[in-house]
Each structure stands twice: as C-alpha cells, then as structure tokens.
Amino acid sequence: MKKDLKEFRTFPSSVIREIHRAANEGIYKIRGLGAKRKVPDFDDLVFLGASMSRYPLEGYREKCNTSVILGDRFAKKPIKLDIPITIAGMSFGALGANAKEALGRGASAMGTSTTTGDGGMTKEERGSSKYLVYQLLPSRYGMNPDDLRKADAIEIVVGQGAKPGGGGMLLGQKINKRVAAMRALPEGIDQRSACRHPDWTGPDDLEIKIQELREITNWEKPIYVKVGAARPYYDTTLAVKAGADVVVLDGMQGGTAATQDVFIEHVGIPTLGALRESVDALKELNMHRKVQLIISGGIRSGADVAKALAMGADAVSIGSAAMMALNCNADLYREDYEKLGTEPGFCHHCHTGKCPVGVATQDPVLEKRLNPIDGGKRLKNYLSTLTLELQTLARANGKSDVRNLEPEDLAALTIEAAAMARVPLAGTDWIPGFKNN
C-alpha cells in the first residue's frame, strides 16, 4: 500500500539534502553552467503571426535578411555579421583548446563572431575565427596589445549574468602548464578572476578606459561593454554614456565555468526582463540601433532569437547552447558522468576539469574526445538551424529583415512574462505594471 507521505513545502527533499550536505562539508557548492531554477523566459511569449492586417512572406522563397552591423557608432571598422547570433566569451582554461577552435570554426562557417574569455587569445582560436572579439576582463590574464590589435572587436567585461558582481575562479585542477603560462601564474593553483577592474572604477573612468583602448587600436575596433543583468536600465545608460559601440547584456540564465551555486541561482534578473529594460534605456537616449544591443543568457532556439530581436535586441549571444552543440551533456561516455555523480542532461561539472565529452577540460585524454573539425561542423549545423527558424518566424510575421520583428508581433502567456517583456497577455490588451495602461 502506498504510504501517505506529505513533503514539506518549505523543506522539500532537495532542500533537506542541501542542508545535510552543508552541515557535513561547511562550504558552499561551486558548479558550472547557468541557473536551474524556473524563471519567466522566452517560452512564455508567442508570436502572433500574420493575419488580415499583416501579410506574411513566402516561407521558402522570399528573402529575409539576417545580417547585422555591430560597432558603427565610433569604430572605423565595424563588424558585419551574416547572422545575428554570436558566440559568447568562454575562456581558454575553462574550455580546452579544441573546444575554442571548434567554436571558431563553427562561427566562421556561418559568418559570425566568437569571443575569447578570461585567459587571453589562443592561436587556435584566432586562426579559426573569422571575427574574434577579445575580452578585457578584470584579471587581465593574457592581455597584451598585440592581441588587442589582432582582434576584430574589444569587449570590456564588467560582469556576467551568472554572477553579476562576483568575479570568477578557475580551480587548480584545470590549470595545466599552458594555461598557467598564459596567465603568468603557477600551475595547479586556484586562479581567482577579480570582480572589478584594476585600473578603473565607475562610468567616468570607463569612458577614459575606452578612450585608451581606442588610442591603442587606432580607433578601428568596435568597443563592446558587457554587463550582467543587475540594473540593466542604468547599466545600459552608463555604458552608452561611457562611449560603448555595443552593449552586451547577459541575463541570469547565462552560464559560467565555475561559480557558487547560491550566486548562479540568486543574483541577477532573468534575461526577459533585463532585455526590456535595456531597450527602454536605448530608446530614451535615442540610441536604439545606433548602439547595438546583444542579449545573452538562456538562448536555445531560433524562437528565442526571434523573440529577443522582436523585443529590440540587435543580436544574441550563445554560450551554454554552443557548448551543447559541441556535445556538452551528450549521452556519451556515460560511465564518466557517473564518476562525477551525474548523468547526461544534468551535468554541470565544468569546474572539475573532468568534462566527459572533452569540452570543458584541459585533460589531454578527455580533450581528444572533441575533434575540433567535427565540433565546428556541429556548431555550424546548430547555428544554421537557429537561423532558419529565425527566418521562418520573421517571414510568418511579414518581415523581410529579422530586425524588423517588433514587440507588436508578440503576446505573453503568463502575467509575469507580460509584465517583464511589456507585451500584452495573450487575448487581452493588458500589460501589467505598464504606466500607459
């Protein structure tokens, strides 16, 4: 007979297990990837599609432009991408060299950009990337002016969605000889990535820092400013004021290589709400489409991309999904997932350096499991799928350019999503909390 058991609402079994773990170990959990909790997201929006008042474009025949120019506010050499889907910054160190090369290959095949990450630029990455964005992070690991000049754009990282205000930590098990040398630190020690920049504080200083970077690179490179979704309205405003060409906004679903679980799940706001705030800021400044906005944090499908563009983004950036295209969490080497105490589909053990599929590792044996050419092809296929999905949805809404998608093409399925995205709840004209209602 089934027992009549009632779980505590406040203390469900998962919470009790975590309390037991904390009581035994005395320290928080560190893990990789992004938030696992449910938050309002793009799944809570739908497109309306064409009807009597909107004419669709022929889905398989009529052109639908996907290209986007990034960085034409001040930079002499803005980037023209064929698709509005870029690869987010992920460090060499967190990822292996094969993974970085595969990302470059896949992105280049689709005419889009990839991004370095903490730890500097590797020759594999530069060699395989048609467009490479070079990150300037607080740690300045691997930062040098020669690579700065080799880059196609520069991204000043103020924060990331998984951990706004948190900095980072690459645990010692991932620090091999090459990673250590690039970072000017000993092998095998935990390497802290600082949470704030060493030589500037606040937007006034940032403006001067941007000036310096432009001076060093002959004012050629687009300068991106990346922020975690903390206060996106103000952060976007201040980034524009500081002279950014592009704002990169990373919502709380954005991934990380290694961060405290409490940080991943409890700091920052969802991508959906953050995007709307940032677009509001750009519009109020009359800078929408003049300073481009790249949104990241939980983008998985062409539908997500289309909804992000409809809400006002110029492009999106993918990190976790790109890793998954390289086989992250694939049902391969199951025994190695088990050794980590996890299963395919649930793994977030990037921090251990024991990635079963050879993506987030520096272990030479594991790394061989990812062939960069094959990985590049998988990423290309994935990006191609996203792009086709994006175009299909754009055409169905009567758009010959994906950036013509607009909030009026959307409806929300939940009150929360309606409030955050500021589009009407489906079947109503109600936008909760919107001042014009």
Partner 1 sequence: MNFDLNKKKLREVNNYLQNIDRKDNKRKFELSNPQGQHAICAGLKDEIDVTIKGHTGYYCAGMNQKANIVVHGNVGTGVAENMMSGKVIVKGNASQSAGATGNGGTLIIEGDASSRCGISMKGINILVKGSVGHMSAFMAQKGNLIVFGDADSDLGDSIYEAKIFVKGKVKSLGADCVEKKMDEKNINELNKIFKELNIPEEAKKFKRYGSARKLYHFKIDNLSSY
Which residues sit at the interface with partner 1, rule CB under 8 A?
25-27, 139-140, 143-146, 148, 169, 171-172, 183-186, 189-190, 192, 194, 198-200, 205, 208-209, 211-212, 215-219
CA gap 228, 158 in Å, rounded: 7
| Three-state secondary structure call for residue 398 | coil
The Cβ-side half-sphere exposure at 118, using a 13 Å CA radius, reads 26
201 token code pair: 């504080």
Instruction: Compute the least distance from the CB of residue 196 to partner 1, in Å.
Output: 10
**CB nearer partner 1, residue 75 or residue 294:** 75
**CB nearer partner 1, residue 108 or residue 193:** 193
**CB nearer partner 1, residue 27 or residue 365:** 27
Would you mind telling me the total number of residues written for the chain in this entry?
437
**CB nearer partner 1, residue 111 or residue 167:** 167
For the purposes of burial, counting CB atoms within 10 Å of the CB of 50, is it exposed (0-12), middle (13-18) or buried (19 or more)? Answer: middle
| Three-state secondary structure call for residue 323 | helix
Instruction: Compute the least distance from the CB of residue 25 to partner 1, in Å.
Output: 8
CA gap 137, 203 in Å, rounded: 16
405 token code pair: 């998608």
For residue 255, how many other CB atoms are within 10 A of its CB?
Answer: 29
**CB nearer partner 1, residue 131 or residue 141:** 141
**CB nearer partner 1, residue 195 or residue 415:** 195
CA gap 146, 185 in Å, rounded: 20
> What Cα–Cα distance (Å) separates residue 17 from each residue in 30, 200, 315?
16, 42, 40
369 token code pair: 């499991």
Instruction: Compute the least distance from the CB of residue 26 to partner 1, in Å.
Output: 5
**CB nearer partner 1, residue 26 or residue 345:** 26
Please tell me what DSSP assigns to residue 58.
P
Instruction: Compute the least distance from the CB of residue 191 to partner 1, in Å.
Output: 9
For Cα atoms 378, 382, 383, give the angle at the middle one, nearest 5 degrees.
120
308 token code pair: 């992000």
Instruction: Compute the least distance from the CB of residue 119 to partner 1, in Å.
Output: 13
Instruction: Compute the least distance from the CB of residue 145 to partner 1, in Å.
Output: 4
**CB nearer partner 1, residue 48 or residue 185:** 185
**CB nearer partner 1, residue 139 or residue 236:** 139
End-to-end CA distance of the chain: 55
Element containing residue 286 per DSSP (H, E): none
Instruction: Compute the least distance from the CB of residue 401 to partner 1, in Å.
Output: 35
Instruction: Compute the least distance from the CB of residue 141 to partner 1, in Å.
Output: 8
Instruction: Compute the least distance from the CB of residue 169 to partner 1, in Å.
Output: 7
Three-class DSSP labels, 341-393: CCCCCCCCCHHHCCCCCCCCCCCHHHHCCCCHHHHHHHHHHHHHHHHHHHHHH
